[in-house]
Structure 1
Amino acid sequence: DMKWGEEFLDKDGNRVTLVTDWTDDDVAFYFKAGIYPQIRPDAALSGQRFDVGFSQINLFHR
């Protein structure tokens, strides 16, 4: 749970802070759900498919 203005250690060891710039009404933000494979294209993976499905997604905004 990230709180405004509190420092947070991300998965790469970087220290980040959630700033109030994210609340700017002139900026649109969105949520995406899916699968995002972190691979480099490789001939050995030719024809491979990645698939994801959802039966339910619950979103909460605080």
Structure 2
Amino acid sequence: MDLTGAQWRKSTRSGSNGGACVEVADNLFGVVGVRDSKDPTGPVLAFTPQTWRAFVTSAKRA
């Protein structure tokens, strides 16, 4: 998985609670990356854009 050029942004749902934040990179073709903002060089979860949209839509309903 190539994340070169990923533009990471903090989730709008991340609060100011001292670091429990998620960052998303959705500017790449065919992949959406998700990582822990406290560990930017750590592991990244990768989703297809369709799977990510389905997750976000489902989470908004909850």
TM-score range (shorter-chain normalised) is under 0.3
In terms of fraction of residues, the more strand-rich structure is 2
Q: TM-score, normalised by structure 1?
A: 0.25
Output the TM-score relative to the length of structure 2: 0.25
Greater relative contact order structure (CA < 8 Å, 6+ sep): 2
Q: Which of the two has higher C-alpha Rg?
A: 1
Q: By percentage of residues, which structure has more helix?
A: 2
